[in-house]
Each structure stands twice: as C-alpha cells, then as structure tokens.
Structure 1
Amino acid sequence: MGAFRVEALLGVDERGQMVIPKELREKAGIGPGDRLAVVSWEKDGEVCCLTFIKADHLTGMVREFLGPLVSTLAGADKK
C-alpha cells in the first residue's frame, strides 16, 4: 500500500460544495464526467474521515477482493 499524505485543505461553501484543486485533479487523473465514490470511515460512531475513490478503480478493488472469496466459496460448495 502506498503512503498517505495531506494533499490539500478544502473549504465547503454555503451550498455544501467543495473544489478539488486543479493540480490535485491532474495528479489523480480526475477529469470532467468522472465519478468518485465517497467512502466514510467511522470512529466511536462518528464519521471521522472521507476518502474519494475513482469509481472505475473501486470496481476493480471490489473485484480483486471478492474474486478469491467467491472462488473459495464456490470450491467449498463442490465438496
């Protein structure tokens, strides 16, 4: 797994909107029309962290995680 770092501090306007800085969008390869999944992390019942994952990457991550699990379960059914 890669390193974690604070890339930017974002403000939230009165309409609840945030702007991801252009340099960070370019670095992450985020362009117009891209979809981002918002993953929340909770601690003691409160959301403490939000992570943005490009939707196409999330699909691959889920497939990578669930693929071996499904194979294991399918193999167990055959026994």
Structure 2
Amino acid sequence: MEAVVSLDARGQILLPKEVREKAGLRPGDKLAVITHVHGEEVAYIMLIPARKLAESLRQFLGPLLRELLGPEESEGQGGAGPG
C-alpha cells in the first residue's frame, strides 16, 4: 500500500506528492478509473494513467488488427507499418 487518502465533500481525492512523482503524473494528466466488482460490491478501484492504458491497448490490439485486416488496411487505420 502506497498511501491512504480521504474523499472530500466534493468527491475528490488528493494523491500524495510521492505517489504522483513515482507515477510521473503532472497537473492535467488524465486517469482512467476502473472498478472491480466482487459479489455485489466494488472490491477495488484502480487509477491508470490514460496514456499508459492507450499504449497497452495499442500493443495488445495492434497485432490482432493487422492479422484481421491485413497489413494494408491496418496501416490506414493508424497501425504500425514496417520498420
């Protein structure tokens, strides 16, 4: 556990400076909020920098899209070309 934070009256939290620095977060950065439900309750909440999530999705989906669409079509869709 890195830290314990409180939720204020407006529903906001403050990430401690050490956590922000360790994660490379800057003011204005977007965070994806992902919840995991176990049973009928939220078991945990994850915050993932949106840029990291987008990179992971591209790495995961890129090869799949190239396989499905073929190299010519995936390049036109923003896929990585050769080289």
Is the pair's TM-score, using the shorter chain for normalization, greater than 0.5? Answer: yes
* 1:20 has 2:11 as partner: no
Partner Cα separation in structure 2 for residue 44 and residue 73 of structure 1: 36
* 1:7 has 2:7 as partner: no
> Shift of residue 73 of structure 1?
2.4
Residue deviations 1:5-64 (CA, integer Å, cap 9, x gap) = x11111111221111001111111111111111111111132211111111111101111
Structure 2: gaps of 5 or more residues: 71-83
Partner Cα separation in structure 2 for residue 23 and residue 32 of structure 1: 14
Residue number in structure 2 paired with 1:3: none
4+ residue runs of structure 1 moved beyond 3 angstroms? none
- Identity rate, percent: 47
* 1:51 has 2:46 as partner: yes
Structure 1: gaps of 5 or more residues: 1-5
> Shift of residue 68 of structure 1?
2.2
Aligned residues: 70
* 1:60 has 2:55 as partner: yes
